A = this chain, B = another copy of it.
């Protein structure tokens, strides 16, 4: 039996309308009644029922953050920033995992779950956009894409320049004197724009340096987890002509790759240099520490949340594309020192 507006109204000898006004802080209420209402609220320990408010106003104050796996450090760090940024704007965040389940991703996007539970969706697909391209951007559910950058302007997105980032990472390896540069993280499915863009940047850097891409050195990774990097790197190291450097499409892949190098009896960076993308905290503490392309995750989160808030208040605002900055961070995994 929770306390309702009516209870407070009765206690304060006013109408519900007046209490509602006091709670909202909005309209003009005489100081005298206001104080009386406040007292009643305190005394009864009244808390507004958000669900009822939502039913009435159509707004829940909740955003959904959809990621493939929350325990992938990059997504966890992103979630942290998103939750904080959302809190500043008065939103709470619901985290959904799609777990590489395309059907689930699609359902979340088409709004099969859009049952008025949240006001907007921040979607960080590892993948999928192919499906998105065919979807009608439903005005009823504000959506901002994170990390994808290959659309036709019908959706908001916030992402880095993937081609440039991959280029920078590869060029860094080449500048350190490496000539057989491998890459881990391609996807068989051409729909996945992020890996495709990164491969593009990788190949562009090779060309600029006059190096010939070797098909053998381009490796897929089913997911972007440590085990995938481990497996791919292990395979690379058994080649007749193994690579002297590996560019991984995520830091987590790089963690697996580094371990694979050790297990093969080689050294990082002396025998094989390794670089990743994301700049997760883990990379500062590994031995050797991991060179990487750093994404400005707080910036991305703040932009995305700000964007969705704007779209919520004005659904017809035109879609925009925000490019987040990235910087190359050189650490031990690409710097021969010892």
**Distance (whole angstroms) from the CB of A67 to the closest CB of chain B:** 10
Report which of B62, B70, B84, B259 forms a contact with A76, defined as CB distance below 8 A: B70
**Bound Cα distance A259, B287 (Å):** 7
Q: In chain A between 35 and 74, which residues have their CB closer than 8 angstroms to a CB of chain B?
A: 47-52, 54-55, 60, 62, 69-71, 73
Query: Which 3 A/B pairs are nearest by Cβ-Cβ distance?
Result: A76-B76, A71-B76, A71-B80
Task: Tell me if A218 counts as interface (CB < 8 A to partner B).
Answer: no
Proximity bits, A67-105, B CB within 8 Å = 1, else 0: 001110100110110011000000011111101000000
- A289: B residues at CB distance < 8 A: 259
7 more A-B residue pairs beyond the given contacts A47-B114, A52-B55, A255-B285, with a C-beta to C-beta distance below 8 A: A51-B60, A83-B96, A92-B94, A92-B96, A94-B94, A230-B285, A286-B287
Task: Tell me if A116 counts as interface (CB < 8 A to partner B).
Answer: yes
- A79: B residues at CB distance < 8 A: 70-71, 95
**Bound Cα distance A284, B140 (Å):** 45
Q: List 26 A-B contacts (CB under 8 A).
A: A2-B116, A47-B112, A50-B117, A51-B54, A51-B55, A51-B60, A51-B115, A51-B116, A62-B94, A62-B117, A70-B79, A70-B95, A71-B79, A71-B281, A76-B76, A79-B95, A84-B99, A92-B96, A93-B94, A95-B95, A226-B282, A226-B285, A255-B282, A259-B285, A262-B287, A287-B287
Proximity bits, A1-33, B CB within 8 Å = 1, else 0: 010000000000000000000000000000000
- A60: B residues at CB distance < 8 A: 51
B76–A73 contact, CB under 8 A? yes
- A230: B residues at CB distance < 8 A: 285
Task: Tell me if A256 counts as interface (CB < 8 A to partner B).
Answer: yes
**Bound Cα distance A84, B285 (Å):** 30
**Distance (whole angstroms) from the CB of A305 to the closest CB of chain B:** 14
Task: Tell me if A221 counts as interface (CB < 8 A to partner B).
Answer: no
Task: Tell me if A144 counts as interface (CB < 8 A to partner B).
Answer: no
- A255: B residues at CB distance < 8 A: 282, 285
